[in-house]
Chains A and B, each alone.
Chain A
Amino acid sequence: MFAHEFVRNAYLAGTFIALGCGVVGWFVVLRGQLFAGDALTHVAFVGAIAAAVLGFDERVGLFVLTLAVAGGMAALGSRGQADDVVIGTVFAWILGIGVLLLAVLATSPQGGTGVAAANTLFGSIYSLSAAGSRVAAVIGLAVSAGVVLALRPLLLTTLDSELAAVRGVPVRAVGVGFLALLAVVTAESTQAVGALLLLGLLAAPAGAAHRLTASPYRGLALSALIAVAAVWGGLALSYEFAALPPSSAIIGLAGAGYAAATLFAGARMRRRQGR
């Protein structure tokens, strides 16, 4: 299987995207910002479509719009987070714009919208170029490094923002910075797993890790590990069964991992309670 370049590219990009999602996702879950992450992934889709309409490279649209909206959410919320309803209404509105843009695109000479839309929504990891997959790997690595470097301020501002403020940690800046990292990993990962499924890579491995351990170091490592395992397994399965789309396989495995962790944690708790 690895004789094919498109497979090697997929594994390269996928591994580091999984790393980034696992690491960032662990904090997204802890900070209760999954809904904001959900919104950002949908925004990423609209960004790609907008770029296609305006004639830019899709990736430019992805990154620009996602970062802009992340900034907006951070600005509208306290301590760099955003309110439930604000997120919901803003991104429903942005999706409305996405609908408009899709309609515009469909009537424009570019055509081929269906494929472009499906790729952005559900990913096209096997169509990454060698250069593209290298970029994805670098970004994934950089984002993970960013989180690890900022581990202590991130943990402190998440778990006890008042104490953090007292200690001089710039809570709002950390919040904004984190959303920016989330925006970057979202935009980049859209190409691999697609805007609609990316949330699964952010949530499921991290959720599993949180069910299994409270330790940040073990949790981060576990989250990254499960994410990478899901990507490797998903890619292998979709290579074996051509009818199975890679992104579906990856998310299916990630979800199964979360379910398994939930069941295991539940059983462990019942054992400890002596039942």
Chain B
Amino acid sequence: MTPTISLNPIDDLGALLTFPFMVNALEAGTIVAVLAAVVGWYMVLRRQSFAGHTLSVMAFPGAAGAALAGLPTALGYYLACGAAALFMGGARGSRGLGARGRGYGTETATIATVQTVGLATGYLFLSLNHAVLGGTETLLFGTFLGVSRGQVLTLLVVALAALALVALATRPLLLETIDPEAARARGLPVAALDLGFLLVLALAVAATSQITGALLVFALLVAPPAAAQQLTMRPGLGLVLSVVFALVVVWLGLGVAYFSIYPVGFYVTSFAFAVYLAARLWHARARRPHGHHSA
């Protein structure tokens, strides 16, 4: 019983909004888009996409473990993501190794190991719970359509908390990201900032995963911010652009998915990728020197 698109945007929008589940989905999607776009902007700047992806995948053991222990799923998500952030933040490369030296390789090895051990544990939980066939797909790919009022409110609270933390710490965080040595020289608590950011990232990821599923939260965490950073490196403008892109992607994705039998995740990711590609093309063309201008 797929609703048909009438190609009249006002009518279509009206049709969408008559359903409470759709309204919830749009609200949740909006909150998630803003949160992911802002936190993701810093994550991309700090080149921590791999850590972000790992955190997003932690939602799987979190949900599976919660199901096994009879806890609320959301709690499982937050706990698993938080634990992973602690493991990753706590196990940085040993002192004395440079960023691009051996420390670099083993730091990613830590992230990769945390990720797969987390997934392996999640699979174990799922197997113990005899839910192998049913649960996996939803956990990994999620659904926007099945969001409750309560979830929307929780998301709002979490998002406001995370955004507040980021806003408070933005200057030291930016300095520490761009020039860690200068930050250290100024006495900024670099290790604490690193761990703190990872924890905020974990919060953002756990919140988003509940809606988009573990594997696709990345589409909102990376693509809109990366697209924004193709166009500008200024934080203010970049953050705004990132949020705008994320909102467009989520609203279009939800809207189109409503009229289609195909899952929301596919549309959201595809639109996100398209936005990123467009930004890259724009950036490449803007950079191209014009032949008849003087160099």
Contact = CB atoms under 8 A, between A and B. Distances in A.
Interface stretch (A55-63, A66-74, A147-155, A242-250): A242-250
A207 B115 CA distance: 14
A95 interface: yes
B277 to A, nearest CB: 8
Contacts of A100: 262-263, 266
A202 interface: yes
Given A103-B262, A244-B124, A262-B91, A114 B270 contact: no
Q: Is the contact region of chain A dominated by helix, strand, or loop, or is it mixed? A: helix
Among the interface residues A97, A245, A248, which one has the most CB atoms of the partner chain B within 10 A? A248
A205 B49 CA distance: 23
Contact of A255 (B117, B128, B140, B222): B117
Interface stretch (A29-37, A169-177, A180-188): A29-37
Interface of A: 29-32, 34-35, 37-38, 42, 84-85, 87-90, 92-93, 95-97, 99-100, 102-103, 107, 114-115, 117-118, 121-122, 196-200, 202-204, 206-207, 210-211, 214, 243-245, 247-248, 250-252, 254-255, 258-259, 262, 265-266, 269
B109 A269 contact: no
A93 B94 contact: no
Given A93-B269, A95-B215, A210 B137 contact: no
Given A89-B226, A89-B276, A252-B120, A258 B265 contact: no
Contacts of B266: 96-97, 99-100, 103
Given A88-B218, A99-B216, A34 B123 contact: no
**Lowest 10 A-B CB distances belong to which pairs?**
A207-B109, A96-B269, A200-B116, A203-B112, A114-B133, A93-B273, A255-B117, A251-B120, A100-B266, A248-B120
Given A84-B50, A89-B273, A251 B216 contact: no
B240 interface: no
Contact of B263 (A99, A115, A121, A202): A99
Contacts of B105: 29-32, 34, 207, 210
A85 B44 contact: yes
A250 to B, nearest CB: 8
A99 to B, nearest CB: 4
Contacts of B267: 96
A255 to B, nearest CB: 4
Contact of A29 (B109, B121, B141): B109
Contacts of B261: 103, 107
Contact of B124 (A37, A102, A245, A254): A245
A92 B219 contact: yes
A148 B124 CA distance: 35
Given A88-B218, A196-B116, 14 more contacts: A29-B106, A32-B105, A34-B111, A35-B108, A92-B216, A92-B218, A96-B219, A96-B268, A100-B263, A103-B261, A118-B132, A121-B140, A204-B113, A262-B110
A103 B44 CA distance: 31
B120 A247 contact: yes
A207 B112 CA distance: 9
B204 to A, nearest CB: 15
A38 B262 contact: no
B63 interface: no
Contact of A118 (B136, B222, B276): B136
Interface in B90-109: 91, 94, 102, 104-106, 108-109
Given A95-B216, A95-B269, A199 B112 contact: yes
Among the interface residues A89, A100, A250, which one has the most CB atoms of the partner chain B within 10 A? A89
12 contacts: A84-B44, A88-B226, A99-B141, A99-B266, A103-B266, A115-B133, A197-B116, A199-B112, A202-B112, A243-B127, A243-B128, A254-B116
B109 A92 contact: no
Contacts of B273: 89-90, 92-93, 96
Given A207-B112, A248-B123, A258-B113, A38 B136 contact: no
Given A100-B263, A248-B123, A211 B49 contact: no
B184 interface: no
A114 B137 contact: yes
A84 B116 contact: no
